[in-house]
């Protein structure tokens, strides 16, 4: 018997359906670890007692600032997933977790594979792996464990703008599909502008493809327009390289207003990378 690896992913949700969907996908044969749930949890004088996880989940869905945890045991002895748990935080998030016995994990079914699967299923960018340890209880502290090396390595934050003239910025990308937006306007002519991502572990490069449907949106009251998308098949730290930045034309408005406004200086142009 080995020790347990705990894989956690956080998502901004309190939805009972999200939890049940996660359970059905990753642990369809399961049993609750207890039949009594106290509010507040662990209280000697609880205000409320639930006798099922579903009753508790309905309550926590309506009370987004109450902290609680629920555990299930796996009844499928062929599965690598031993336990599944959810942690409701005080800041309206849920941390989804799965425990695995490391003695039964091989290269094909390792912890990172499961972490990537959970991120994709939950549509979340934020997760980490630890060993026989409960997760942090709020988003801010959880994220400190997601990228424990971020301050030392000076990594860029996903969903935060990056200037296209910045020299070889680095970012952590999990496995998945990402959209790349230009920030500042809706009139965009990419010209010869290109981006590449180099995996710092393997040196392999991936190149985004230009989007046929250039969607328009807003980011913090700024206009953004999708110009590229990229598929990341291996999670890790990536170096971003920008090519021909000065060839891109960006204006705040499209036709007919664009013809009456000066274009935005390329040195002020930023991109935004968002997970699909």
Domain shared by 138 and 202, yes or no: no
d(CA 88, CA 67): 5
- Report CA-CA distances (Å) from 138 to 26, 74, 212, 257: 23, 26, 39, 45
d(CA 226, CA 112): 29
Domain shared by 10 and 141, yes or no: yes
Contact 96, 22 (CB under 8 A): yes
- Which residue is associated with the tokens 């390329």? 266
Domain termination residue (choose one: 111, 146, 181): 146
Residues whose CB falls within 8 Å of the CB of residue 220, separated by 6 or more in sequence, listed in order: none
d(CA 212, CA 203): 28
Domain shared by 43 and 84, yes or no: yes
Domain shared by 32 and 163, yes or no: no
- Can you give the pLDDT at residue 30? 96
Among residues 244, 231, 234, the alpha carbon closest in space to that of 275 is found at: 231
- Which residue is associated with the tokens 């999708």? 226
Domain shared by 180 and 108, yes or no: no
Contact 230, 173 (CB under 8 A): no
d(CA 194, CA 2): 47
Domain that holds residue 256: 153-275
Domain termination residue (choose one: 114, 146, 178): 146
d(CA 32, CA 54): 10
Instruction: State how far Cα 170 lies from the chain centre.
Output: 17
Domain count, the chain: 2
Contact 163, 248 (CB under 8 A): no
The secondary structure of 161-184 as a DSSP string is: -EETTSSS-EEEE-SEEEEEEEES
Mean pLDDT by 10 residues, the chain (276 residues): 80 96 96 94 93 96 95 92 95 94 56 86 87 84 67 60 93 81 91 93 91 88 92 83 94 62 84 86
Contact 182, 224 (CB under 8 A): yes
The CATH number of residue 263's host domain is 2.60.120
Residues whose CB falls within 8 Å of the CB of residue 252, separated by 6 or more in sequence, listed in order: 184, 185, 186, 187, 223, 258, 261, 264
R_g of the chain computed on alpha carbons: 22
Domain shared by 11 and 105, yes or no: yes
The CATH number of residue 46's host domain is 3.30.2030
Residue 156 has what DSSP assignment? B
Domain shared by 197 and 75, yes or no: no
Contact 149, 27 (CB under 8 A): no
- Distinct helix (H) and strand (E) counts, the chain: 5, 20
Contact 180, 231 (CB under 8 A): no
d(CA 215, CA 63): 35
Domain shared by 157 and 138, yes or no: no
């Amino acid at each position: 018997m080995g020790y347990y690896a705990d894989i956690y992913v956080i998502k901004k949700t309190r939805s009972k359906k999200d939890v049940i969907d996660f359970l059905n996908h990753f642990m369809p044969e399961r049993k609750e670890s207890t039949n009594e749930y106290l509010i507040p949890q662990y209280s000697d004088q609880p205000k409320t007692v639930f006798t099922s996880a579903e009753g508790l989940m309905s309550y926590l869905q309506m009370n987004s600032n109450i902290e609680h945890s629920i555990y299930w045991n796996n009844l499928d002895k062929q599965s690598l997933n031993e336990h599944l748990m959810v942690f409701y935080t005080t800041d309206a998030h849920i941390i989804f977790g799965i425990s695995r016995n490391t003695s039964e994990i091989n290269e094909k079914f390792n912890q990172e594979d499961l972490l990537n699967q959970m991120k994709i299923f939950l549509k979340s960018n934020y997760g980490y792996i630890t060993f026989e340890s409960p997760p942090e209880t709020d988003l801010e502290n959880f994220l400190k464990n997601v990228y424990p090396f971020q301050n030392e390595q000076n990594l860029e934050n996903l969903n935060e703008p990056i200037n296209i003239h910045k020299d070889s910025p680095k970012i952590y990308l999990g496995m998945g599909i990402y959209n790349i937006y230009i920030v500042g306007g809706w009139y965009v002519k990419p010209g010869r502008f290109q981006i590449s991502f180099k995996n710092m572990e393997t040196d392999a490069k991936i190149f985004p493809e230009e989007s046929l449907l250039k969607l328009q949106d807003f980011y913090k009251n700024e206009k953004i327009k999708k110009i590229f998308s990229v598929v990341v098949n291996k999670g890790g730290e990536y170096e971003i390289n920008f090519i021909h930045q000065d060839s891109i034309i960006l204006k705040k408005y499209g036709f007919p207003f664009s013809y009456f406004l000066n274009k935005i200086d390329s040195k002020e142009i930023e991109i935004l990378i968002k997970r699909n």
